[in-house]
Amino acid sequence: MHKTPRILFFINGINPTLEQRAEALKYGTSVAFRNARFVGSDEKPEACDGVIGEVPKNYKGVPSAEKAFEKFEKDVKAAIDAQNKAAEAAKKAAKAQAKADEDADKAKAEAAEKAKKDADEAVKKTGWTAPTA
């Protein structure tokens, strides 16, 4: 299962504006606000999948929130496609197994019928008949 991307929304201040809150809603509940003024330039970036807002320079290599969600949607679609392919393959395998079982049962019945017929013919050649009571 794929987790929703964790997004860091950098703001200049303690509380986000209404506009920033509205923008954060686009990304669901996985958005965490961070005060960009308190992020040191030599500080190791906090683990996240994407960033938005007043992004500090040390987060330069981190994808934007939009890119993170595009990747998430692509990964989810690929996972769904893989599950659908696996389900289809399982369905085909089950169908093939059912056909193989049917063919095997038919072959067993034919072999039993032939064995009975061969045995009856062998008995006829000997001239033996079953005793009657």
Mean pLDDT by 10 residues, the chain (133 residues): 86 95 90 92 89 93 94 94 94 91 87 86 79 73
Query: What one-character-per-residue DSSP string does 58-125 give?
Result: GGTTSPBHHHHHHHHHHHHHHHHHHHHHHHHHHHHHHHHHHHHHHHHHHHHHHHHHHHHHHHHHHHHH
Task: State the total domains in the chain.
Answer: 1
- Is residue 132 situated within a structural domain? no
pLDDT at 81: 95
**pTM attached to this predicted model:** 0.65
- Is residue 128 situated within a structural domain? no
pLDDT at 2: 63
CA–CA gap between residue 43 and residue 10 (Å, rounded): 15
- Domain limits for position 25: 7-116
pLDDT at 121: 84
- Is residue 2 situated within a structural domain? no
- Is residue 107 situated within a structural domain? yes
Of 58, 57, 63, 61, nearest to 27 (Cα)? Answer: 63
pLDDT at 1: 52
Query: Any idea which residue has 């990304």 for tokens?
Result: 27
